[in-house]
Amino acid sequence: MERAKLKDLGFKTRNEALTFLKKLWLHGKAECPICGNDLEPLHKKAKKSDCNWQCKNCNNTYKTIHLLDEINEKLPY
């Protein structure tokens, strides 16, 4: 599994990127920005609010805390 990097995800704006993270944090689900498959928690017994996710279709992991750092660095206000 590869950790997905912000630049791989194709977000054009900060808002778009944050909307993706918020879906995971608030609703516990989102589609993979790369392939459109539903993301699943990285660890089987994780709670809905867990911050690490995976896409079993394209084998990427999403660590929302890391992505947030990247968003702040590369897509600042």
Interface with Zn ion (CB under 5 A), residue from 6, 30, 55, 67 = 55
Interface with Zn ion (CB under 5 A), residue from 34, 46, 68, 75 = 34
Phi, psi of 48 (to 5 degrees): -60, -30
59 touches Zn ion by CB under 5 A? no
- For the bound state, the minimum distance from the C-beta of residue 76 to Zn ion, rounded and expressed in Å, comes to 27
Residue ranges that bind Zn ion, judged by CB under 5 A: 32, 34-35, 37, 55, 57-58
